[in-house]
């Protein structure tokens, strides 16, 4: 039982919030019951689990801890004070794990026929990346590809905002040029979202193999995507503001694709 | 020029981040160039403006400060250290104002014929309320009504996440029963969003006077809305997760309404 917030294990968990330490260790943090449940269900390997029973919110946590330990993870018990120090959440739930970073190469993506994909370029805020993963999961996309991100997908706020959908949606990271070559190689059309077109997103065609491409919060898409090679679509702005939250914008276009691809009987497609 | 972070004016600005102090003063904070620009354009009265020139990001800030001063606001100049203390943003832009809280009674809402409204119940996170206001503005809604909120609309994070759309969309706060009576009195149909129905949101009818009703992040809508009086619609979940971010969900339904209400020529309606 770790009782001191000054314990070196606690300090290392705090360090794993920074990208430098995550990348040098090749590890990342997964905090929370729902997030860990989704990680385990998706077959993510857990190396260590840090547990603080008095902070559990429900009654299913011990079973989850046992499953994670049975898979070979080392378990450490913490008193509430050191756990609160180690946790990155304001209201920690008593579960914090360390997992090895998984491969995010494009070559690991396996596609079904006629896939729907989300490509995001240059995303800056981990919370937006996580919220987009959650929306992508809900829209049933086959994979999410991140081009030239400013944030890394193993940021604790990605795990948190995605509610664990980082583990349910296949994710790859590459450069914009790498993504464009990969899409072409797989016969996937790109539909780029930008305010610089008159075509509305609900008038676009989302049939077949298609990737919805959204840009960063501040700058939108780079010129690479806007040189005329790809059809464009914009989200209409009917009020005073000139833009939407990036995750909201991605969700709107993905669900319009889902609407068009869903059969008249309401049965959802699976890609 | 205020040079000390211990200055009582700086301490009071910090206190205004808490609801208790906001409500006892009847005031709230507006920080940032875009947010203040939208507030001024919407005719929001500004009592005081706190300015730190070295933190300006652009060149239009002095003109905005002059306009705000010309409207009768007192202006205080701050050195960077006290400004950073007073600002609630991580990267302050050198502009922070104090404004009187405005009336959020339902009776202040003026409606056009066939309005589209957003009603949200029990919203907890100010960031979600702000993001919903931004989406509501973009979808061209006539007004946003908040029923029994846990957060108050004058929370600095509402202003921030709304990017100033708190000032561009008419906003009212009431109880669920008060909202239901008000909708009925104005002949506005309520369409409630819930996972407890088979009807998909894109199959619902958004013509005429209609209010889209969304629930809180944790608990969804209360029984008041789900007793069968109102038609229901759900957002399909095509992946592993069982819910979407509340602001994303609201945006999806509002933009489906906008899609259905937009003429075939793509000309956006105005309510």
> Hey, is B216 helix, strand or coil?
strand
**Domain B8-100: assigned CATH number:** 3.30.1330.30
* Residue intervals in chain B for CATH 3.40.1280.10: 106-261
Nearest to B169 by CA among B208, B211, B130, B206: B130
Cβ partners under 8 Å of residue B151, min gap 6 = B123, B124, B125, B126, B129, B158
DSSP B78: B
pLDDT at B107: 94
Percent of chain B whose pLDDT exceeds 90: 89
Q: What confidence tier does B38 reach under pLDDT thresholds 50, 70, 90?
A: very high
Instruction: Report how many Cβ contacts below 8 Å link chain A to chain B.
Output: 121
Tokens of A43: 């077959």
**Residue B263 pLDDT more than 90?**
no
CB–CB of A211/A188 below 8 Å? yes
Contact criterion met (CB < 8 Å) for A138 and B237: yes
The pLDDT of residue B270: 62
Residues B270/A238, Cβ–Cβ less than 8 Å: yes
Domain boundaries for CATH 3.30.1330.30 within chain B:
8-100
- Could you say which of A41, A238, A247 has the minimum Cβ distance to residue B248? A247
| Interchain contact, B139 vs A239, CB within 8 Å | yes
Number of residues that this document lists for chain B: 271
Give me the helix-helix angle, A33-41 and A61-70, nearest 10°.
Answer: 40
Closest residue by Cα to residue B65 from B102, B100, B99, B33: B33
> Residue B136 and residue A240: Cβ atoms within 8 Å?
no
Residue range B54-70: mean pLDDT, rounded = 96
**ipTM value of the model?**
0.90
> How far is B116 from chain A, CA to nearest CA, in Å?
12
Tell me the C-alpha distance between B217 and A165, whole Å.
Answer: 17
State whether A244 and B38 contact (CB < 8 Å). Answer: no
Instruction: For chain A, positions 180-209, list CB contacts with chain B under 8 A.
Output: 198, 200, 202-203
Q: Which residue has the tokens 């790859």?
A: A172
pLDDT in tens, B214-234: 998 888 999 999 999 999 999
For every one of its 271 residues, what pLDDT tens digit does chain A have, with 9 covering 90 and above? 999 999 999 999 999 999 999 999 999 999 999 999 999 999 999 999 999 999 999 999 999 999 999 999 999 999 999 999 999 988 999 999 999 999 999 999 999 899 999 999 999 999 999 999 999 999 999 999 999 988 999 999 999 999 999 999 999 999 999 999 999 999 999 999 999 999 999 999 999 999 999 999 888 999 999 999 999 999 999 998 888 989 999 999 999 999 999 976 667 766 5
- Whole-number pLDDT of residue B144: 97
Confidence of residue B115 (pLDDT cuts 50, 70, 90): very high
- A106-261: in CATH 3.20.20.140: no
Interface test with B, best of A252, A263, A268 (most B CBs within 10 A): A252
Q: Do B266 and A200 touch (CB under 8 A)?
A: yes
**For residue B156, what pLDDT is reported?**
96
| B58 Cβ under 8 Å from any chain A Cβ | no
The minimum CA-CA distance between A261 and chain B, rounded to whole Å, is 12
Residue A264: its pLDDT value, please? 66
**Which residue blocks in chain A are alpha helix, DSSP H?**
8-15, 19-25, 33-41, 61-70, 80-86, 126-138, 156-161, 176-185, 246-261
pLDDT for residue A266: 65
CB contact under 8 A, A239 and B137: yes
Beta-sheet strand order (sheet of A27-31): A27-31, A95-100, A48-51, A74-77
Instruction: Provide the token pair at A128.
Output: 């937006």
- pLDDT digits 0-9 by tens, B146-181: 999 889 999 999 999 999 999 999 999 999 999 999
């Amino acid at each position: 039982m770790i009782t001191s917030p000054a314990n070196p294990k606690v300090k290392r968990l705090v360090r794993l919030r920074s990208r430098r330490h995550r990348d040098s260790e090749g590890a990342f943090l997964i905090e929370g019951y729902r997030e860990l449940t989704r990680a385990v269900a998706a077959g993510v390997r857990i190396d260590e689990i840090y547990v603080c029973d008095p902070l559990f919110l429900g009654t299913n946590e011990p079973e989850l801890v046992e499953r994670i330990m049975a898979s070979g993870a080392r378990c450490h018990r913490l008193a509430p004070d050191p756990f609160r120090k180690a946790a990155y959440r304001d209201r920690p739930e008593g579960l914090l794990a360390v997992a090895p970073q998984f491969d995010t190469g494009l070559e690991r993506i396996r596609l079904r026929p006629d896939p729907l994909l989300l490509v995001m370029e240059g995303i800056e805020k981990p919370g937006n990346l996580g919220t987009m993963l959650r929306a992508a999961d809900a829209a049933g996309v086959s994979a999410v590809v991140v081009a030239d991100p400013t944030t890394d997908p193993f940021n604790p706020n990605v795990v948190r905002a995605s509610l664990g959908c980082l583990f349910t949606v296949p994710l790859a990271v590459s450069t914009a040029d790498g993504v464009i070559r990969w899409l072409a190689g797989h016969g996937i059309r790109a539909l780029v979202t930008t305010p610089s077109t008159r075509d509305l997103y609900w008038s676009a065609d989302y049939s077949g193999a298609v990737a919805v491409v959204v840009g960063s919060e501040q700058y939108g898409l780079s010129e690479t995507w806007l040189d005329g090679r790809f059809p464009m679509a914009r989200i209409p702005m009917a009020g005073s503001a000139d833009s939407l939250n990036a995750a909201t914008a991605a969700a709107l276009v993905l669900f319009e694709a889902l609407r068009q691809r869903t059969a008249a009987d309401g049965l959802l497609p699976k890609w």
